[in-house]
Structure 1
């Protein structure tokens, strides 16, 4: 029985529509009769195909930009592997190098590997996966909670205890032992003797939030001293002034929730993305600056994004349970 035209396409029909779209982009004239028969089989097929074409048209440019970014990271990743003698012969075998690239790109496309993260993971002592929060106990007695999709290096020997945060965020409960404890992010240095604080690397820069004690942050030739329930941000090469925050809300991710007060949507999506085993793609860059106040469960990105869009008046689409498009 043919479904009424007013019914929405099913998830299976949407997947079929995307397969047809990809086939027709590769070879527009092949399987033309089969495509027409598929369209005629159910009124919802035309709706599903039209949606797929519309989403493709608005996401093609952002996706190309994302692919370029990942390709650059992939090149650096492979160079790092060669320096470690893990790919010693690829310089002489271009075909093998191309095959390795294809394999990595296939893994990235399935969500199992992202070249930027893979490169950082290669350098890191400690790594957390998407959706995973890890507790680390350092040799000096300090405690670390490594937030989801994060990576860091630890060097606590000698007169200086040093941690390098390569990606993501981490909360530190520093043990007193007389030696300075320093967290580096590439553009900032956070120094303490014993306290509790968070350091987070974001697309917009670095943020340091203090829960207990006092922290010194140095960046861009400037220094700031923070007390409990204060935060400072480094953005565009400028270290801002400390401002008050509710550290309990700011650090709610330790209990599985994400809480934001008048935060840019881009920052919220970045936090959700670190907990999602797929991709969240914002198709309208202007939306990234919209400010929202929200408290959501960190383990359900599709529902959280849908709630945000209901408030902001945008639309979200979930594809294949791995890609969330926002427009």
Structure 2
């Protein structure tokens, strides 16, 4: 049985110098460890000539084709069983070596390494957020956190895989292009705006946390008073209140207790009856490589726990044990969980 699905890829050809440059940027972004200096260099390169931006767009399209092909290939590798083991006497004579089985394992590992590496492009921050990502004045890579001091005694703590741009003119503020940021405006009398998705949060001497991930925005007021302005309405938040919105609507305002407050600034991820699929997505934001949930039926299983961000492999072990799963580790930080 062939392990290769019926996938048609564009014919190979030699890339010209500009295409190679664009692909180099794609590979660098795929690592999830772009620095602020790298982001500045990429924006400058894209602005230098319209052909550069076009080459970057074409590189994105090629990666998307590869993503589809890689996922098909990975799925085919999973559903095909490994070759049956020979009878016990034959295994003893061969000292346990079966080249067919070794080839199958290598093929499966390669397929998942390819799929996970390419799929990282479309992660929470993703490699491509259109031209918006090129506007970022500050960004963090995988697992990185940093604090930025802005004019007017405003400080911003950036979580992993976060990009933001400073707003010019009008009310002081930032555009949260993706990721998660904690803003402290308690030392300034002027309002401060955080634009994210289809809404904006106005902090009035307040501390707020705003999360813009997977086309949903979550605003948590830690202290003080904040307002969320959206095309669907305007809502005021006070301390320990939280609001979620997307492009079309606002959800109901909710009160949050100590155990429900975001904990990333303290170095932890906290989950209370959260579906396993969502937990894995969150862990993948912080951890190099990729955790792949092998069985989609497991994604709805609830997870409750408090995990140290610095020890996420330990967290995966705890999840594996508590849910009676099995984990297989591959090179490049890839973990197959099922």
Common fold: TM-score over 0.5: yes
Higher deviation after alignment, 277-286 or 142-151: 277-286
Q: Superposed, which structure 2 residues align to 1:1-327 within 5 Å?
A: 40=94, 42-43=96-97, 51=105, 63=115, 67=118, 70=121, 115-116=127-128, 121-155=133-167, 158-203=169-214, 205-235=216-246, 237-247=248-258, 250-327=261-338
Question: In structure 2, do the counterparts of structure 1 residues 249 and 217 end up closer, same or farther at CA, with 3 Å as the change threshold?
Answer: same
Aligned-pair CA distance for 1:119: 6.7
Question: In structure 2, do the counterparts of structure 1 residues 292 and 125 end up closer, same or farther at CA, with 3 Å as the change threshold?
Answer: same
TM-score, with structure 1 as normaliser: 0.64
Question: In structure 2, do the counterparts of structure 1 residues 231 and 48 end up closer, same or farther at CA, with 3 Å as the change threshold?
Answer: farther
Question: In structure 2, do the counterparts of structure 1 residues 226 and 144 end up closer, same or farther at CA, with 3 Å as the change threshold?
Answer: same
Contact 2:197 2:246 (C-alpha < 8 Å) held by counterparts: no
Superposition RMSD on alpha carbons, in Å? Answer: 3.7
Question: In structure 2, do the counterparts of structure 1 residues 46 and 179 end up closer, same or farther at CA, with 3 Å as the change threshold?
Answer: same
Question: In structure 2, do the counterparts of structure 1 residues 140 and 69 end up closer, same or farther at CA, with 3 Å as the change threshold?
Answer: same
Question: In structure 2, do the counterparts of structure 1 residues 159 and 248 end up closer, same or farther at CA, with 3 Å as the change threshold?
Answer: farther
Q: 1: distance between equivalents of 2:187 and 2:324? A: 49
Higher deviation after alignment, 223-232 or 122-131: 223-232
Question: In structure 2, do the counterparts of structure 1 residues 268 and 53 end up closer, same or farther at CA, with 3 Å as the change threshold?
Answer: same
Aligned-pair CA distance for 1:42: 4.1
Contact 2:204 2:224 (C-alpha < 8 Å) held by counterparts: no
For 2:128, what is the secondary structure of its paired residue? Answer: helix
Residues 10-57 of structure 1, C-alpha deviation per residue, up to 9 Å, x if partnerless?
A: xxxxxxxxxxxx9xx9xxxxxxxxxxxxx9564487766555566678
Contact 1:220 1:239 (C-alpha < 8 Å) held by counterparts: no
Aligned-pair CA distance for 1:69: 8.7
Question: In structure 2, do the counterparts of structure 1 residues 177 and 69 end up closer, same or farther at CA, with 3 Å as the change threshold?
Answer: closer
Contact 1:140 1:175 (C-alpha < 8 Å) held by counterparts: no
Question: In structure 2, do the counterparts of structure 1 residues 286 and 210 end up closer, same or farther at CA, with 3 Å as the change threshold?
Answer: farther
Question: In structure 2, do the counterparts of structure 1 residues 50 and 160 end up closer, same or farther at CA, with 3 Å as the change threshold?
Answer: same
Question: In structure 2, do the counterparts of structure 1 residues 194 and 285 end up closer, same or farther at CA, with 3 Å as the change threshold?
Answer: farther
Residues 158-206 of structure 1, C-alpha deviation per residue, up to 9 Å, x if partnerless?
A: 4401211111101111145443211111222111221011100122611
Question: In structure 2, do the counterparts of structure 1 residues 324 and 182 end up closer, same or farther at CA, with 3 Å as the change threshold?
Answer: same
Residues 211-232 of structure 1, C-alpha deviation per residue, up to 9 Å, x if partnerless?
A: 1112222335133222211212
Aligned-pair CA distance for 1:123: 2.1
Aligned-pair CA distance for 1:319: 0.9
Question: In structure 2, do the counterparts of structure 1 residues 311 and 223 end up closer, same or farther at CA, with 3 Å as the change threshold?
Answer: farther
Q: 1: distance between equivalents of 2:115 and 2:283? A: 19
Tell me how many residue pairs correspond in the alignment: 248
Aligned-pair CA distance for 1:254: 0.9
Question: In structure 2, do the counterparts of structure 1 residues 176 and 282 end up closer, same or farther at CA, with 3 Å as the change threshold?
Answer: same
